[in-house]
Chain A
Amino acid sequence: MLRHFDLELDELKRQLLGMGRLVEMAISASLEALETLNAVAASNVVAADRAIDELENALDERCFDLLALKQPMAVDLRFIAMSMKISTDLERMADLAVDIAQRVIELAGKPLLKPLVDIPKLAALSKRMTSEALLAFVEKDADAAAGIIIMDREADRLRNLIQKELMEDFMAKDTSVAPRAIPLLLIARHLERICDHATNIAEDVIYMVRADIVKHHPERLNPE
């Protein structure tokens, strides 16, 4: 029996995906601004964040109403509760895109400290993890979600590599480069945090699909 409630759940899913698409666009736009050190493009990312904030509020309100009015159970309950958590992660990811854009504004007009090698790798990984986390949510694919959680180790490794290089090879040798090194350090940190939020979404997808809590329990991850 198709329930009217199913239509409301579909609408919630559409709303969440719409927010997810905007967040993906914000991350991509901040990374494009970084590639070209384009302060105008970076400012556009900052300005676009407001719409995502509003979407988070609207989504939370919808979830809240569904919980209060429809008394969802089992898979429906997990879907709505996880949607609320995912919207929080998405909003934080958009904030991190804004943080990257602000670092770009700081860097614009100055020569780059060094050619970027590992930051583009981490950027590509953060985009991939974000889009795959959203896909795993849409397709209720717990195995794909488990794969995303494993990718986070690579994100941590790249962040550590970038941090070590900037601190040991540059700032330790010449403190005057700090104004150009610190924004790059922070960008690596922002990108790694985006990957963490994508990981959170993946953990929520696994809970939604299998009702297994894998957060803080990596031993429970068992992708096929």
Chain B
Amino acid sequence: MDKEIRMRAEGVNFFYGSRPALKDVNLEIYRNQVTAIIGPSGCGKSTFIRLLNRMNDMVPKSRLEGRIFLDGDDIHDPETDVVDIRRRVGMVFQKPNPFPKSIFENIKYGLEINGMRDKSVIEDKVVDSLKKAALWEEVKGRLYDSALRLSGGQQQRLCIARCLAVEPEVILFDEPCASLDPISTARIEELLMELKQEYTIVIVTHNMQQAARVSGNTAFFLLGEIVEFGKTQDIFTKPRDSRTEAYITGRFG
């Protein structure tokens, strides 16, 4: 794994009150790669991914130790602008969450929040984002229809388009296919393979087979710790740790 490091977690501990959720997590996320995070429920994988764009900032009584870097900048540094971090590190959630507005406005919203006013530039960005999210052909004739009339899979791709519009560097996917049917899932997985050419991707998934299909590197979390991190083909064909082997072969979890 001699790739360029985009994000790095260094000695990360995270607590909900006094309960530790992450213990001494060290992880490198490589540019233009899909990094998958797998592990049983409650292993800390969602907690970890949410730290990568400071989504845990508002969790009451939570506490972070250690550091997380984006291109060498400590993203939890008090001087760091959290809005800028969330633009640079976008996130797509388990359940598609389009705004109850038109398809066009869903994407325009993020651009305006980021200070964009030029109407023609916004229009170009909307079209470009929909194309990159492989949704353009399905919605080009109805951009002003409500986003809520799209299918679940289309809504999820709209959320991806909305994320792409503000030109992030890293995209975090938290169980992006959990509520989708197999065909919509396959489309999202194909999209991930396209997006990694341009973006750095981190995906949390319960679905080990999905992690195997889409990722280049995989981290296995258990009880808040990283048990094993390596090339996906190694993790799934010759894991070094017996706990990883037990999990991926379905012997526990």
Residues in chain A within 8 A of chain B (CB atoms): 1, 3-4, 64-65, 68-71
Would you list which residues of chain B between 196 and 237 have a CB under 8 Å from chain A?
A: 209, 212-213, 232-233, 236-237
Return the contact of B237 from the options A1, A3, A65 (Cβ within 8 A): A65
Return the contact of A1 from the options B190, B193, B209, B233 (Cβ within 8 A): B190
User: Which residues of B are found within 8 Å of A1, using beta-carbon distances?
Assistant: 186-187, 190
- Kindly report which residue of chain B lies nearest to residue A62, judged by CB atoms: B233
- For the complex, give the distance between the alpha carbons of A1 and B232 in Å: 25
SS of A interface (majority): helix
- Kindly report which residue of chain B lies nearest to residue A7, judged by CB atoms: B193
State whether B237 touches A70 (Cβ < 8 A).
no
Query: Taking the nearest CB of chain B, how far is it from the CB of A199, in angstroms?
Result: 31
State whether B190 touches A70 (Cβ < 8 A).
no
State whether B212 touches A68 (Cβ < 8 A).
yes
- For the complex, give the distance between the alpha carbons of A65 and B236 in Å: 8
- Kindly report which residue of chain A lies nearest to residue B183, judged by CB atoms: A1
Query: Taking the nearest CB of chain B, how far is it from the CB of A29, in angstroms?
Result: 35
Return the contact of A71 from the options B190, B193, B209 (Cβ within 8 A): B209
Mask: chain B, 236-248; 1 = CB below 8 Å from A; 0 = not: 1100000000000
User: Which residues of B are found within 8 Å of A70, using beta-carbon distances?
Assistant: 212-213
User: Which residues of B are found within 8 Å of A71, using beta-carbon distances?
Assistant: 209, 212-213
Q: What are 24 A-B contacts defined by CB distance under 8 Å?
A: A1-B186, A1-B187, A1-B190, A3-B186, A3-B190, A4-B190, A4-B193, A64-B237, A65-B233, A65-B237, A68-B212, A68-B233, A68-B236, A68-B237, A69-B212, A69-B213, A69-B232, A69-B233, A69-B236, A70-B212, A70-B213, A71-B209, A71-B212, A71-B213
- For the complex, give the distance between the alpha carbons of A70 and B212 in Å: 7
User: Which residues of A are found within 8 Å of B212, using beta-carbon distances?
Assistant: 68-71
User: Which residues of A are found within 8 Å of B237, using beta-carbon distances?
Assistant: 64-65, 68
- For the complex, give the distance between the alpha carbons of A71 and B236 in Å: 12
